[in-house]
C-alpha cells in the first residue's frame, strides 16, 4: 500500500453499497463534489460496477447526481431519452479537465480506471475491486477476443492503489459468468461453477 493512502478497509459483498454510500454522503456534507476511483485489474468488474452506479446510484445519492467516466468516456443524458458520449482519453494528468463542464452539477464523480493516478492527482475515495484469478481469467476469455493475452499480461501486475485518497476500500464481488451481474448478485457473492 502506498504511504499516501490509508490501509484498505475490506467491504463485504452484502453491505458494500451501504458503507460506500455512508462514506460518500459524509464527505459530501463538507464538499460540493467528491471523486470515487474504481480500480483493479482487467476483468475484475470495474466497468460493471461503474455502470451499476450510473444507473442505480447509491443510497442517498441519486443516479442523476452521479457522473461516471469509464475508459475516457462520459455518458451524458440528453433530453432524457438520448445519451451523448463525451470522449477524452488521456495518459496525461489533467484531473479530468475535459469533462469538468459536464460534471459541474454532479455530486459524485466516478472514475473507472486500473491506474487512476495517471490522470488524477488524488481522489476522495478509492475502491479496489478484486476477483480470484481463475474467475478473472474466465471473464476476460469470455468477454474479449484477446482475453487470454490480457489475462497473462496482467497476471503478475500489481493492483496496488497508487492514487492518494482519504478512504480506500477493497471489494470482491463474484458474480455469475455473465458480465453484467443482476442486482441480487451484486449484493451477495454468487459462487462460480467449478467446471
Name the residue ranges covered by the structural domains of the chain. Answer: 9-130+160-172
Decide if 75 contacts 54 (C-beta within 8 A).
Answer: yes
Report pTM: 0.83
State residue 52's pLDDT score: 94
DSSP state of 64: G
Dihedral of CA atoms 94, 95, 99, 101 in degrees, nearest 10, equals -110
Q: 129 in helix, strand or coil?
A: strand
State residue 145's pLDDT score: 79
Evaluated on CA atoms 90, 92, 93, 97, the torsion sign reads negative
In this prediction, the residues of the chain whose per-residue pLDDT falls under 50 are 1-3, 175-195
- Total Cβ atoms within 10 A of residue 137: 19
- Give backbone dihedrals phi and psi of 191, rounded to 5 degrees, phi first: -75, 130
State residue 4's pLDDT score: 65
Enclosing H/E stretch for 25: helix 16-28
User: What is the CATH number assigned to the segment(s) 9-130+160-172?
Assistant: 3.40.50
Amino acid at each position: 500500500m502506498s504511504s499516501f493512502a490509508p490501509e484498505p478497509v475490506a467491504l463485504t459483498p452484502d453491505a458494500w453499497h451501504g458503507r460506500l454510500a455512508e462514506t460518500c454522503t459524509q464527505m459530501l456534507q463538507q464538499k460540493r463534489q467528491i471523486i470515487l476511483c474504481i480500480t483493479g485489474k482487467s476483468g475484475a468488474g470495474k466497468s460493471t460496477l461503474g455502470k451499476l452506479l450510473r444507473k442505480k446510484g447509491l443510497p442517498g445519492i441519486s443516479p442523476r447526481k452521479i457522473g461516471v467516466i469509464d475508459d475516457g468516456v462520459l455518458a451524458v443524458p440528453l433530453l432524457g431519452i438520448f445519451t451523448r458520449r463525451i470522449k477524452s482519453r488521456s495518459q496525461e494528468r489533467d484531473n479530468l479537465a475535459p469533462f469538468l463542464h459536464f460534471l459541474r452539477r454532479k455530486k459524485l464523480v466516478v472514475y473507472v480506471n486500473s491506474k487512476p493516478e495517471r490522470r488524477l492527482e488524488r481522489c476522495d475515495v478509492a475502491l479496489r475491486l478484486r476477483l480470484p484469478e481463475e474467475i478473472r481469467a474466465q471473464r476476460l476469455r469470455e468477454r474479449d477476443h484477446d482475453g487470454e493475452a490480457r489475462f497473462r499480461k496482467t497476471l503478475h501486475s500489481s493492483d496496488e492503489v497508487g492514487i492518494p485518497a482519504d478512504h480506500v476500500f477493497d471489494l470482491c464481488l463474484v458474480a455469475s459468468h455473465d458480465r453484467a451481474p443482476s442486482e441480487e448478485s451484486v449484493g451477495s457473492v454468487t459462487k462460480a461453477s467449478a467446471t
